Amino acid sequence: MTFANIIIILECVILIINVGTVIYKLIKPAIKIQDRIEALENHNMEDSVRIYKLEELSVDQSKILIQMLDRMTGSLSKTDFLTAER
């Protein structure tokens, strides 16, 4: 094995490493985007649950306020939405 053959082998190794680096740099943004999409999907799901809970709370508060007004005035009739299912 001569010195020229060793140089050729080392150049091939360096070329393979450089190709691997280029491929990694091309794939890295796609991996980052996928991670960001997953994080946004998780946040979206959590926000949907929070909005649903706030909606339930708003309905319950409205029912309580109507019942309070009915007891205070005594003149309001019971409405259908006080007994209606959600």
Are 82 and 62 in contact, with CB atoms under 8 Å apart?
Answer: no
pLDDT digits (tens, 9 = 90+) for 50-84: 999 999 999 999 999 988 888 888 755 555 555 55
Answer whether residue 28 shows pLDDT above 70.
yes
Does residue 67 contact residue 82 with C-beta atoms inside 8 Å?
Answer: yes
1: pLDDT confidence band, cut at 50, 70 and 90? confident
pLDDT at 85: 53
Contact 70, 78 (CB under 8 A): yes
Q: Do 39 and 45 form a contact (C-beta atoms < 8 A)?
A: no
Which one has a higher pLDDT value, 8 or 85?
A: 8
